[in-house]
Amino acid sequence: MYDDDEMESKKKPLEEINTNQEEKLKIIPWEDFQQELARLSSLSSALHEANQKKSLIEEKLNSLVQLEADSLNWSNELDEMREKLEARKLVMGNMSMRSKIVRWKTKKQEEQLNSEIRSLLMSGTALSIASKRLQEANKSLAGERGYIRLRNLQKLLKIQQQFMVSQISMLYPVNVVIEQEIESNTSTSTRKSDATSLTISKHLSVHPFAKMNFFTDRKEAIRSATALGYIAHAVSLLAVYIKVPLRYPIRLGASRTYICDYSPPSLESLSEFMEFPLFLEGQETTRSSYAVFLLNKDLEQLLNFIGVESLGPRHVLENFRELMNNILSREYIINT
C-alpha cells in the first residue's frame, strides 16, 4: 500500500506529461487537413532536398578540407624541398669554390711540373754531354798518357821529393836526448829521473822566448835563435819541394831570420806586412814569441797538406820531426 504523500508525488509528473502533450498537439480542422497535408508534404520534400544539398555541401566541404590538407602537406613538402635545395646550392657553391682552388693549384703544379720537365730535359742534355766527355776522358786515360802513367809520374815525383827531403834530414838531423834530472823529496832523499828532449844539428834546442829575461844566458838565446834559423831554412826548402806556398813567408838569415805576417793591423795598410824576428831582439820577447808561433803555423800547414795533424802550437821541433818522418815514410808514396 502506498501512502498519500507518495500517491501525490506520483500524480504530479503524470499531470505534467499530459499538459505537455496537449501543448504539443495541434488540432487541425477537417477542412484544412488537405491543405495542411499538402504543406507538410512540401515541407517534407523541401527538407529532403535540404538534406541532399546538405550532404552535397558536406561532401564538397570534406573534399575541400581534404584538398586543403593535401595542399598544406604539399606546401610543407615544398618548403622542405626548398630548404634542401638551398642547402644543396650552398654545398654546390662550396664545391665550386673548392673546385676553382683545386684548378688553380693544379694549374700552378702543372706550370711547376713543366718547368721541372724543361730543367730535367736540359739536365739530361748536359748529362749526355758530360757522359760523352767522360767516355772521351776514359779513353784518353786508358791510353799511353792515361791515369796509370800519371800515377807512375806522381810516384816518381814523390820518390824524388823523398830523396831531397832525406838530404834535408841529413843536413838538419833531429835527435832525441835523454837527460837525467835529480828530484828531492821531503825526507831529504834524492832520486834520478830520465827526461827526453829534441835537438837539431849540433845539440841545439829551442827554448821559449817568453821564459827568457834579463838574467837569461845570452848563449842560450843565441842557440835557440840558431836552431830556429835551421828549422826555418828546412821549412822553406820543404815548401819548395812539395810545392806548398807558405802562409807566412820566411826571410832567411841564419840566426837572424825573420818571418812575415801579411795580416794588416788596420784596413789602411792592406798592401803592407810586418816582420817578426826568430831571435831575441833586445829585451822584447813578445815579437819573438809571435815569430815562433807563425813558424809553427807554417809547419802545421805542411803537415795538414800531407794529411797529418799538428802536435800543438808550442812543439816546433816535434812538429818538424813529425813532418820529416811522414814524408820519408813508405805511406807517403803509397798514398799517391
- List pLDDT tens digits, range 114-132: 999 999 999 999 999 999 8
Beta bridge partners of 202: none
Residue that the C-alpha cell 831554412 belongs to = 233
Q: Which of 100, 79, 105, 106 is nearest to 92 (CA)?
A: 100
- List pLDDT tens digits, range 170-186: 888 877 766 555 454 44
Q: Which of 318, 323, 322, 313 is nearest to 289 (CA)?
A: 313
Please say if the pLDDT value at position 274 is more than 60: yes
The model carries a pTM of 0.50
Cα 278 from chain centre: 50
Please say if the pLDDT value at position 270 is more than 60: no
Please say if the pLDDT value at position 34 is more than 70: yes
Residue 285 contacts residue 199 (beta carbons within 8 Å) = no
Model confidence at 3, in pLDDT bands (50, 70, 90)? low
**CA 5, 10, 14: angle at the middle one, nearest 5?**
145
**CA 211, 217, 219: angle at the middle one, nearest 5?**
115
Please say if the pLDDT value at position 198 is more than 50: yes
Q: How far apart are CA 201 and CA 315, in angstroms?
A: 17
How far are the Cα atoms of 172, 200, 252 from residue 226, in angstroms, in the given order?
Answer: 12, 10, 11
Residue 171 CB-half CA count within 13 A:
14
Picking from 21-30, 153-162, 248-257, which range would have the lowest pLDDT averaged per residue? 21-30
φ, ψ (nearest 5 deg) of residue 199: -135, 160
Picking from 21-35, 122-136, 159-173, which range would have the lowest pLDDT averaged per residue? 21-35
Q: Which cell is 145 given?
A: 798518357
- List pLDDT tens digits, range 277-304: 888 766 577 888 888 888 888 889 888 9
Please say if the pLDDT value at position 207 is more than 90: no
Mean pLDDT of the chain: 77
Model confidence at 215, in pLDDT bands (50, 70, 90)? very low
Sorted by where each begins, the domain ranges of the chain are: 49-142, 152-182+192-334
CATH number of 152-182+192-334: 1.10.418
Beta bridge partners of 191: 183
Most confident of 256-265, 269-278, 295-304: 295-304
Confidence at residue 114, expressed as pLDDT on a 0 to 100 scale: 92
- List pLDDT tens digits, range 222-250: 888 888 888 888 888 888 888 888 888 88
Q: Which cell is 203 given?
A: 845539440
3-class secondary structure per residue, 11-80? HHHHHHHHHHHHHHCCCCCHHHHHHHHHHHHHHHHHHHHHHHHHHHHHHHHHHHHHHHHHHHHHHHHHHH
Q: How far apart are CA 276 and CA 271, in angstroms?
A: 17
Confidence at residue 187, expressed as pLDDT on a 0 to 100 scale: 46
